[in-house]
Structure 1
Amino acid sequence: MTSSQKLKRRSTTPWSTEPDDNDQHHGFSYRDTLQDYHHYGEFGRKRNYFPHYHFHGYNEIRMTNVMPLLVSMTLLGLQEYSAQGPDLLEQISQELEPPRIPEGGYRVSSSSFLTPEILNSMRSGRFSESQYSTSYGNNGNDITFTEPSLSFEPPDNSIPIEDKPGPSMELVFAWRTVDFEFESEAARERAIFEGNYIPENNLPLGLELWHDRVFVTLPKWRSGVPATLTTAPRFTKDKSPKLRPYPSWGWHHQGSCGGMTSVFRVQVDECDRLWVLDSGTVNLTADPKQICPPAIFIFDLRTDRLLRRYQIPEDQVKQDSLWSNIVVDIRDGNCNSARAYLADVWRFAVIVYDFSNDTSFRIQHHFFLPDPLSARYELHGIQFQWMDGILGLALSPVDINNDRTLFFHPMSSFREFAVSTAVLNDKDTAETSPESFMPVGKPRAKDYGHSSGSAIDKHGVMFMNMVTRDSVWCWDTRKEYIPQNLGVIGVSNESLIFPNDLRVDHEDRQSFWTISNRLPMYLYGPWNPNDINFRVYRAYVDEAVRNTVCDPNYIVPESENGYDETC
């Protein structure tokens, strides 16, 4: 490729995307477009092994680019922590079986969740004819499964009202494909005709709650997504409501960088403001393009008016950056002192944004990197590799020192990490004190320990989505982070396939909200628009953790303590 061709390709981006000196120092090398990648095989498979092999090729090249950095940073990390003893690196496993895939596709199950009385009467074991039971986490209950090929019934045209992956979890919404509240039927038909609305290309990913509205994000993985941030009414009999663009259709014109481009996740703060992290990146599955600079939009939810738009400075945005998560920290009800933490999942960094000064800075640490040993995923017969870095972000309650802890984890990792926000908020301290970032406890599991979204309630209980286990887990942050102290809130190999985002609301009686979206099926197939593909659940946190190891009133027996004295 000639220099003029490279320049022409890069001219579609509104700012320079040349790698900086630091990138070259760490061994990064970049190619210009996906057209240059197509001759690469899919990790030893034929290029068209999956329907959307372009996305696989892109991930493979990203993996190749970051491997030198991963190896060097891993060696540094091992040297730093080896002094603490070999127990730190020991892999602990719950030995849970991976999710099973029903033959012939995914069908709606009519079976209901068994009562605790029945569950407690069953013993752990293997398949016996069509049923088996197994204990998930330390929650005191066994969860019984039925052989999928025998229990799944043909789908009907109705949305099941009672669909409980766990005793406390309530189905809020369920969609096969999502539709929107267009300004008119003619506008809807025109959007379909012009390719601006392709129903099967719309994938809900992030969610948030404020009073009577549920916010749902739809990143632009592919074309045909007319609005990237929407709302649905919280109180409605319709289990599949049409989505309303937020704050209006005028904010969703692709190519207009004054509006929103492609939003992965949002956060509501205690000051009734909505923080929207716009990645500015579209067409992620085929030919990713950064058509607008990444930015934070802050809306007043009482008026739906924009309070501020902050564009992330160019020197803090790297080539291939993907901004995928945001959490907001407020102390003592002082809305002007807010800070936001943004995760760059593809270039392994956190940006700290100071609302009062309207400034930000970028922090990098080797704990933000993916673990190469955890980059292999297997879900319902689909195998793929992702080198995704820091994604999960969860803030603890304020402690006696008026400080909070940011818990975080890379997507491709089985570990949880933590850092004090007092360290994170000071750029010099964060850069000169890498030892202030700490691993927490032990790995979640030996296999299938990938977690996406996580959030912590006001009592310090963390809820986390386990994407390769079709389940939602919990952990009381005052206890050791070891498998014995992890509980399971809900699990279903039908209705919780790839639970993606999770949030805890600000109600007096808090609930956690989670959304499952079958993302691997969307990316790699099989994808059936006639199946129920997207579900939103909620559960009161006090009911969810009752009688589990995550209950703040649960006392860990003495024999279970002292498992990991080094962390």
Structure 2
Amino acid sequence: MIIRSYLLLAGLAVTARCILVKAQQYTLGKELKRVSQWNSLDFVFSSPVERENALATRRFIPENCVPLDMDVDYNSNLMRSRVFVTVPRFIEGIPATLTTISSHVGAGGPLLEPYPNAAIQSNPEDSRCNGIVSVFRTMIDDCNRLWIADTGKIGDRRICLPKIVAFDLRTDQIIHRYEIPAAQLVCDLSLLVSILVDVRDPPPLGSCSRTMIYVADVTGSGLIVYDMSRGKSWRVTNRLMNPNPDYGTFTIANESFDLMDGMLTMALSPKIPASDFTFNSAYGSSNSFNSALFKDRLLFFHALASISENAVRTSVLHNDTMWEQDVGAMPRAFRVIGRRTTQSAPEAMDSNGNLFFGLLSQTSIACWDATTNYNPHNFRIVSQNLETLQFPSGLKVIRNRKGIEELWVLTCRFQKIMTGSLNFNETNFRIQAIQIPELLDGARTCKGSR
């Protein structure tokens, strides 16, 4: 086992509804389209000699490199798009943690190229902390900025304090950097793994300066809220961010392991008027936003070791004075909106209020229309495949150049890494995508696509 058991990732379990017969794959729902796939990861180096040196000095250990998340840049160059891939430094031997898929292909698949360059990632143990140490997930916002949360850790070793960093994708330069204060962390336990960005003044009329950032602390079971305009952050905690011991065992394709991960993933409700969108019993007794809450949104979230989906209004999270006085303030402002039959990992919501997520017991991607009650009866399995949908660790809703939203999924067969059964002669890591109108058969919502 090359990665320690506290790591977060999603799992998908075997289901009898999706089988392999005579080596052919059978998909229920829509089959996602292949973008890239790898048996093992390799990187772009300055020369073959540099690659050999990295192998000899153990700066590059191929079997230790596991992709976790991806994102797509459609807008910085109209002639080409870029796919970003993160490779967290769970352990030594990862030459770059933030990369793009290059046009070069190696023995295991497309080579990954360090972003924005190799130099900023080549010395992660530099105590000056000017570089990038380790990145789990990314997000590209409405202002064409790539945001990351740098954990500052290699494995369980704290090298630097975690940082929130933004790149301008048109220039590939760092345009914003903020270090999370040590007082907002749980000693050396905290691991900041997922980042969500809410631009309150987007283009074409806004300046992109009023931006709120949410970062999940998976091992510290909390949330960091950052107000970019004020350069200030604060910590928020609630019992619903904790792992549930009853759901800390994961079984994927008949392989089991234990992982007690807390707060993992988040999604924001759409930016549309109350008259167009309601949360039918999704948040307490109130079924819709009133006019005073037009700019308020719901933050959906869940822990990995849990079956509960939860929500809180962002206006509650923005009261920094209250959270600075008590990180556990307003416990009843956080609600369980419903429960699944199994654990889930990353989630993402489209502009029509459809929440997409993995179901761990069904090797599937599910969809829930947030105008309905959150329960399995209202879930729609939009894609299910035993082979290609094992362990989706990255999931994004991305709008392409034509304005059409797409669902992107990265899978990494993490159960085989945890059990030591990964075979590099097989396809282990995949990026797949599909346009959401095609996924939902032209319907606007998951409910309408039944």
| Cα 1:244–1:451 shift into 2, 3 Å | same
Give the alignment partner of residue 278 of structure 1, picking from 141, 150, 170: 150
Equivalent in the alignment of 2:77: none
Q: Whole-Å Cα distance in 2 between the matches of residues 234 and 274 of structure 1?
A: 21
Give the alignment partner of residue 184 of structure 2, picking from 302, 316, 328: 316
Equivalent in the alignment of 1:493: 386
Q: Whole-Å Cα distance in 2 between the matches of residues 292 and 183 of structure 1?
A: 27
For residues 159-201 of structure 1, what are the alpha-carbon distances to aligned partners after superposition, in whole Å with 9 as ceiling and x for unaligned? xxx9967525111000001111111111111111111111111
Deviation at 1:435, TM superposition (A): 1.4
Whether 2:337 is the aligned partner of 1:440: answer yes
Deviation at 1:331, TM superposition (A): 2.1
Equivalent in the alignment of 2:413: 518
Given that residues 398 and 405 in structure 2 are in contact (C-alpha distance below 8 angstroms), is that contact kept between their aligned partners in structure 1? yes
Higher Rg:
1
Q: How does 1:257-268 map to 2 (within 5 A)?
A: 257-268=129-140
Q: How does 1:266-305 map to 2 (within 5 A)?
A: 266-283=138-155, 288-305=156-173
Q: How does 1:137-216 map to 2 (within 5 A)?
A: 145-146=18-19, 148=20, 151-152=22-23, 166-211=29-74, 212-216=81-85
Whether 2:331 is the aligned partner of 1:461: answer no
Secondary structure in 2 matching 1:530:
coil
For residues 91-143 of structure 1, what are the alpha-carbon distances to aligned partners after superposition, in whole Å with 9 as ceiling and x for unaligned? xxxxxx9506xxxxxxxxxxxxxxxxxxxxxxxxxxxxxxx7x4xxxxxxxxx
Q: Whole-Å Cα distance in 1 between the matches of residues 415 and 215 of structure 2?
A: 24
Give the alignment partner of residue 404 of structure 2, picking from 506, 509, 517: 509
Secondary structure in 2 matching 1:451:
coil
**C-alpha RMSD over aligned residues:** 2.5
Equivalent in the alignment of 1:383: 256
The residue identity in structure 2 corresponding to 1:192 is L
The total of aligned residue pairs comes to 405
Secondary structure in 2 matching 1:495:
coil
Equivalent in the alignment of 2:441: 546
| Cα 1:428–1:546 shift into 2, 3 Å | farther
Equivalent in the alignment of 1:43: none
Q: How does 1:393-404 map to 2 (within 5 A)?
A: 393-400=266-273, 401-404=294-297
Mean alpha-carbon deviation: is it higher for 423-432 or for 324-333?
423-432
Q: Whole-Å Cα distance in 2 between the matches of residues 234 and 289 of structure 1?
A: 34
| Cα 1:233–1:266 shift into 2, 3 Å | same
| Cα 1:242–1:167 shift into 2, 3 Å | same
Given that residues 66 and 87 in structure 2 are in contact (C-alpha distance below 8 angstroms), is that contact kept between their aligned partners in structure 1? yes
Q: Whole-Å Cα distance in 2 between the matches of residues 525 and 152 of structure 1?
A: 23
Secondary structure in 2 matching 1:325:
strand
Q: Whole-Å Cα distance in 2 between the matches of residues 166 and 275 of structure 1?
A: 33
Given that residues 398 and 404 in structure 1 are in contact (C-alpha distance below 8 angstroms), is that contact kept between their aligned partners in structure 2? yes
Equivalent in the alignment of 2:125: 255
Deviation at 1:547, TM superposition (A): 7.3
The residue identity in structure 1 corresponding to 2:296 is D
For residues 519-551 of structure 1, what are the alpha-carbon distances to aligned partners after superposition, in whole Å with 9 as ceiling and x for unaligned? 121122211111100000111111112278943
Instruction: Tell me the TM-score normalized by structure 2.
Output: 0.84
Give the alignment partner of residue 374 of structure 1, picking from 229, 242, 247: 247
Q: Whole-Å Cα distance in 1 between the matches of residues 27 and 57 of structure 2?
A: 39
Instruction: Tell me the TM-score normalized by structure 1.
Output: 0.67
Name the % identity.
34
Equivalent in the alignment of 1:123: none
Given that residues 344 and 358 in structure 2 are in contact (C-alpha distance below 8 angstroms), is that contact kept between their aligned partners in structure 1? yes
Q: Whole-Å Cα distance in 1 between the matches of residues 390 and 28 of structure 2?
A: 11
| Cα 1:494–1:213 shift into 2, 3 Å | same
For residues 289-326 of structure 1, what are the alpha-carbon distances to aligned partners after superposition, in whole Å with 9 as ceiling and x for unaligned? 11121111111000000111111001011121111100
Give the alignment partner of residue 99 of structure 1, picking from 4, 9, 14: 14
Secondary structure in 2 matching 1:505:
strand
Secondary structure in 1 matching 2:111:
coil
Structure 2: stretches of 5+ with no match in the other structure: 75-80, 274-293
Q: Whole-Å Cα distance in 2 between the matches of residues 479 and 195 of structure 1?
A: 52
Structure having greater relative contact order (Cα 8 Å, sep ≥ 6): 2
Secondary structure in 2 matching 1:208:
strand
Given that residues 39 and 108 in structure 2 are in contact (C-alpha distance below 8 angstroms), is that contact kept between their aligned partners in structure 1? no
Structure 1: stretches of 5+ with no match in the other structure: 1-50, 60-96, 101-131, 135-144, 154-161, 556-567
Given that residues 367 and 446 in structure 2 are in contact (C-alpha distance below 8 angstroms), is that contact kept between their aligned partners in structure 1? no
Structure with the larger strand share: 2
For residues 222-260 of structure 1, what are the alpha-carbon distances to aligned partners after superposition, in whole Å with 9 as ceiling and x for unaligned? 221100000125999x99321110000011122132111
| Cα 1:409–1:234 shift into 2, 3 Å | farther
For residues 260-283 of structure 1, what are the alpha-carbon distances to aligned partners after superposition, in whole Å with 9 as ceiling and x for unaligned? 111100110000001011111113
Give the alignment partner of residue 528 of structure 1, picking from 423, 437, 441: 423
The residue identity in structure 2 corresponding to 1:175 is W
Given that residues 173 and 239 in structure 1 are in contact (C-alpha distance below 8 angstroms), is that contact kept between their aligned partners in structure 2? no
Equivalent in the alignment of 2:4: 55
Deviation at 1:380, TM superposition (A): 2.1
Given that residues 346 and 388 in structure 1 are in contact (C-alpha distance below 8 angstroms), is that contact kept between their aligned partners in structure 2? yes
Deviation at 1:460, TM superposition (A): 0.9
Give the alignment partner of residue 347 of structure 1, picking from 206, 220, 229: 220
Equivalent in the alignment of 1:12: none
Q: Whole-Å Cα distance in 2 between the matches of residues 466 and 173 of structure 1?
A: 23
Deviation at 1:553, TM superposition (A): 3.8
Structure with the larger helix share: 1
Q: Whole-Å Cα distance in 2 between the matches of residues 455 and 233 of structure 1?
A: 26
| Cα 1:166–1:231 shift into 2, 3 Å | farther
Secondary structure in 1 matching 2:234:
strand
Whether 2:119 is the aligned partner of 1:224: answer no
| Cα 1:418–1:177 shift into 2, 3 Å | same
The residue identity in structure 2 corresponding to 1:271 is C
